[in-house]
Amino acid sequence: MSLPESAMTVELPRWPLADRLTLGLAVATGVVLEAILALHPGAPVGAGVAVATALLAWQWQQRRWRPQALEFTPTGGSLRLRDGRALPFVLGPGSRVLGTGVVLHWRAPDRSAALWLTPADLPREALRRLAVRLVAARTDGQ
């Protein structure tokens, strides 16, 4: 099976479901840690808030480096960043179809990242086209 010959652009959501869930888990971690530490006399007050803040800052930093869109062409692909730049990329070995969603792992010259896209993030037709592209790329040995 060969890669589809047409160009394809996937506009990525600003806050994918996975990122929103991560933010919720970071807040929940802080609340649970504060509740547990409140049961122990002499435990530091605010440690849960500090942990939650660190997790939220880390997630915010990760999101800042996320591209706005992925552009696939017959000769390769590029990441379109929010500042207008385009970086060439290759799909990493972690890219796969996972249930009704797609896990994308890409490698660019100065960074690599992964993103889980679900039907809550993109229309099903866009996910299906992306899944076909991934399966074709894997079959071709890329």
Query: 85 or 27: whose pLDDT is higher?
Result: 27
| Same-domain check for residues 45 and 79 | no
Residue 114 lies in a domain: yes
> At residue 139, does pLDDT exceed 70?
no
| Same-domain check for residues 86 and 125 | yes
Residue 99 lies in a domain: yes
| Same-domain check for residues 56 and 76 | no
Domain count, the chain: 2
Residue 2 lies in a domain: no
C-alpha distance from residue 47 to each of 22, 27, 43, 53, 61 (Å): 19, 13, 9, 10, 21
Residue 1 lies in a domain: no
By residue range, what is the domain housing residue 44? 22-62
Segment 102-123 shows an average pLDDT of 88
Residue 33 lies in a domain: yes
3-state secondary structure of 46: coil
Please report the pLDDT score of residue 140 as a whole number: 61
| Same-domain check for residues 46 and 109 | no
Residue 122 lies in a domain: yes
| Same-domain check for residues 114 and 56 | no
What's the distance, Cα to Cα, between the start and end of the chain in Å?
12
Residue 130 lies in a domain: yes
Residue 79 lies in a domain: yes
| Same-domain check for residues 75 and 102 | yes
Q: Record the pTM.
A: 0.73
Q: How many residues does the chain have?
A: 142
| Same-domain check for residues 119 and 56 | no
| Same-domain check for residues 31 and 72 | no
| Same-domain check for residues 82 and 132 | yes
User: Predicted confidence band at 111 (pLDDT cuts at 50, 70, 90)?
Assistant: confident
| Same-domain check for residues 49 and 84 | no
3-state secondary structure of 57: helix
The percent of residues above 70 in pLDDT, for the chain, comes to 92
> At residue 33, does pLDDT exceed 70?
yes
The percent of residues above 90 in pLDDT, for the chain, comes to 26
